[in-house]
Amino acid sequence: MDTNKNEKVRCLIIGSGPAGYTAAIYASRANLSPVLYEGIQPGGQLTTTTEVENFPGYPEGVTGTTLMDDLRKQAERFGADIRVGIATQTDLSVAPYKVTIDGEKVIETDALIIATGATAKYLGLADEQKYAGMGVSACATCDGFFYRKKVVAVVGGGDTACEEATYLASLASHVYLIVRKPYLRASKVMQDRVLNNPKITVLFEHNTVGLFGENGVEGAHLVKRLGEPDEEKVDIAIDGFFLAIGHKPNSDIFKPWVDTDDVGYIQTIPGTPKTKVPGVFAAGDVADPHYRQAITAAGSGCAAAIEMERYLSELGK
Ligand code: NDP
């Protein structure tokens, strides 16, 4: 942790996913001497994924951790000051803006890029907390290793759920994919991978209502067609329960100052990374309810850094 007390910088970036690191690459190459705080999950969400096959420039694919390491090194090469620390409070009422790091150090900055990303959602069952670290996980890449030759379930019907189910099927003896709708929302290629994998059983129209087990997860209580006249209780025996039902944008500490939508995504001036606060920009998943891809996050980080440079030069800073 950085223990120096208060500090004044020209340009502060919060978050270390593709958006934050790309903003740092552009800002450092523009001689803005950016300071970047990595946040809770250095490298962001991609460090919890396996193979990234759709980031341009990697014809054979690349692991999420390698991609993020490369982006960080590229930012450091041009002098970005990358630090460990979590932004815990902000005051964006007047420039220079104040961002508190780890509840103690206050950074004053002329311009700010918010690239705090999004965090995995849970169903909200008491059992998810009861079995936290004992069979419940929101990251197949992090925890899949523990379930070799075991039976696991993945909840969700999007690309993440299909990707995680496919990954887990390479380790586990069997995977249930628990989908609340009668269809998958995932892209066709991901759906095909799941539906053609003999180690994956898709349970359409199933909701999880509880987990059970003595010393960890031993099974899940499901209900088929929940709320319908013909609803049906189904119990499955599993050793691991993985959530893949989407994410919550990490925007809470900025909400008093910037506009957010119902879910919490930061709203920017359409077609730009500008928030309604001059000199405060939002990039990546924290401001993107639509695309949420590494490459779109990187692109918006680039746009935010370019806009920040223009803003600072207009101010003569
Ligand atoms: P999505 O929002 O796309 O999907 C969430 C899934 O979880 C949906 O099937 C949804 O069901 C289900 N769900 C949500 N809440 C609940 C609940 N309470 N109970 C049961 N099921 C629930 O999120 P993803 O994380 O899958 O994807 C986010 C974005 O990232 C997408 O744009 C996706 O395309 C992209 N992505 C791309 C990848 C790639 O290309 N390699 C890999 C991973 C993600 P319902 O359909 O009923 O709403």
Q: Is the distance from the beta carbon of residue 155 to the nearest atom of ligand 1 less than 6 Å?
A: yes
pLDDT in tens, 96-137: 999 999 999 999 999 999 999 998 899 999 999 999 889 999
Evaluate if residue 49 carries a pLDDT over 70.
Answer: no
Instruction: Please give the pLDDT value at position 247.
Output: 85
Nearest atom, ligand 1, residue 291 CA: 32
Instruction: Please give the pLDDT value at position 142.
Output: 72
Q: Is the distance from the beta carbon of residue 208 to the nearest atom of ligand 1 less than 6 Å?
A: no
Separation between Cα atoms, residue 169 and residue 120, nearest integer Å:
21
Give the CA dihedral 67, 68, 72, 75, nearest 10 degrees: 60
Evaluate if residue 176 carries a pLDDT over 60.
Answer: yes
pLDDT in tens, 76-92: 999 999 999 999 999 99
Separation between Cα atoms, residue 74 and residue 300, nearest integer Å:
17
Instruction: Please give the pLDDT value at position 46.
Output: 83
Q: Whose CA is nearest to atom 28 of ligand 1?
A: 246
Instruction: Please give the pLDDT value at position 52.
Output: 82
Instruction: Please give the pLDDT value at position 56.
Output: 95
Residue 61 · residue 53 · CB < 8 Å: yes
Instruction: Please give the pLDDT value at position 141.
Output: 77
Reported confidence tier of residue 3, pLDDT bands at 50, 70, 90: low
Q: Is the distance from the beta carbon of residue 98 to the nearest atom of ligand 1 less than 6 Å?
A: no
Mean pLDDT of the chain: 94
Evaluate if residue 216 carries a pLDDT over 80.
Answer: yes
From residue 306, give the alpha-carbon distance in Å to each of 100, 272, 314. Answer: 25, 11, 12
Evaluate if residue 258 carries a pLDDT over 70.
Answer: yes
Residue 239 · residue 73 · CB < 8 Å: no
Q: Taking residues 254-277, report their average pLDDT.
A: 97
**DSSP β-bridge partners for residue 118:** 249
Residues 6+ apart with CB under 8 A from 94: none
Separation between Cα atoms, residue 283 and residue 298, nearest integer Å:
8
